[in-house]
Structure 1
Amino acid sequence: MDWIGDHLWEAWLGLAIVLGVAEMFSLDLILIMLAAGAVVGMLAALLGLPLIAQALLALGASVAMIALVRPAFAKRLHGGPELALGHGKLVGTQALVTEDISALTTGRIKAAGETWSALPYDETLTITAGETVEILQIKGATAYVHPVARLEP
């Protein structure tokens, strides 16, 4: 029993290493937080605190890591840019009008190298060929567009 009491810091370090390696297989960020608690337990053992104090400090650090640090890490790791697929990726982009567009006449635009049928988002507008428009909405195969304001020289 004296050997264990003299080498508690090594036991805590071993536990931290085992938990760290196990985290590599689970990837749920729980075991690494427990490993951090084991490191706190190791530091308490190096300071010569009793086993009960070491265990309480390790437990407190583990709970704090899981409650405070893990949510931010998980959000950062599992989050990322939203992936826009299909025609949804064109919404908000600019396009060039190739055929006049009005509420009564479906025109054409060129967006991202593709030709789309287009109608004005504001039905009172007529947009002439050569103008730049912004795609505000896509319904089916028709893009609803609005002219982009430009500065006249």
Structure 2
Amino acid sequence: MNSIDAWVWWLVGAAALGIPLVVTAMPEFGMFAIGAVAAAVTAGLGADVVIQVLVFVAVSVALIAVVRPIAARHAAQRPQLATGIDALKGKQAVVLERVDSSGGRIKLAGEIWSARSLDTGRAYEAGEAVDVVEIEGATAIVI
């Protein structure tokens, strides 16, 4: 065991920390792995074991303190570009067949959709412009 240099052990530790990173998708393990690589570099430069451990701890803690809040902030943000049915909400459509609370047809974003009115007492005639409020399955809810 003494014949293997300390930097090799640090790299083995970094690889070992990469396994739970992949399995659990917890980025903290990756930050610890980077700390182990930094400690391996320190060991390769001939630093004492105490310095190696301090570098490992300092780099790992610094990465967790800096990267984790940034990642959490990005994960909490909604995407700037709406896609799919979210992109259709708020769009205008043209009524093709009378739309009331029981159904009808509209032309929305170049496609023909089934639709129904949000207000049960309101009906829209062919040619009228309506606004899409919600999409429920394959049916557009309009006002």
2:91–2:131 contact (8 Å) kept in structure 1: yes
Residue equivalent to 1:8: 6
TM-score normalised by length of structure 1? 0.61
Gapped regions of structure 2 (runs ≥ 5)? none
Structure 2 vs 1, CA of residues 134 and 53 (structure 1 numbering), >3 Å: closer, same or farther?
Answer: same
SS at structure 2 position matched to 1:14: helix
RMSD: 4.1
1:29–1:74 contact (8 Å) kept in structure 2: no
Shift of 1:77: 7.2
Counterpart Cα distance in 1 of 2:39 and 2:129? 64
How many residue pairs were aligned?
A: 133
Structure 2 vs 1, CA of residues 52 and 80 (structure 1 numbering), >3 Å: closer, same or farther?
Answer: same
After superposition, give the CA deviation of every residue in 1:28-76 in whole Å (9 maximum; x if it has no partner): 1121111100001011111222111110111011111222223444666
1:45–1:54 contact (8 Å) kept in structure 2: yes
Structure 2 vs 1, CA of residues 61 and 142 (structure 1 numbering), >3 Å: closer, same or farther?
Answer: closer
Instruction: Spell out the pairing of 1:30-45 with structure 2 (5 A cutoff).
Output: 30-45=28-43
TM-score normalised by length of structure 2? 0.65
Gapped regions of structure 1 (runs ≥ 5)? 146-153
1:119–1:142 contact (8 Å) kept in structure 2: no
Of residues 16-25 and 54-63 in structure 1, the stretch that sits farther from structure 2 once superposed is 16-25
Same amino acid, percent of matched pairs = 31
Instruction: Spell out the pairing of 1:103-118 with structure 2 (5 A cutoff).
Output: 108-110=104-106, 111=108, 113-118=112-117
1:33–1:70 contact (8 Å) kept in structure 2: no
After superposition, give the CA deviation of every residue in 1:66-115 in whole Å (9 maximum; x if it has no partner): 22223444666798758877xx77532332113578xxx87955155333
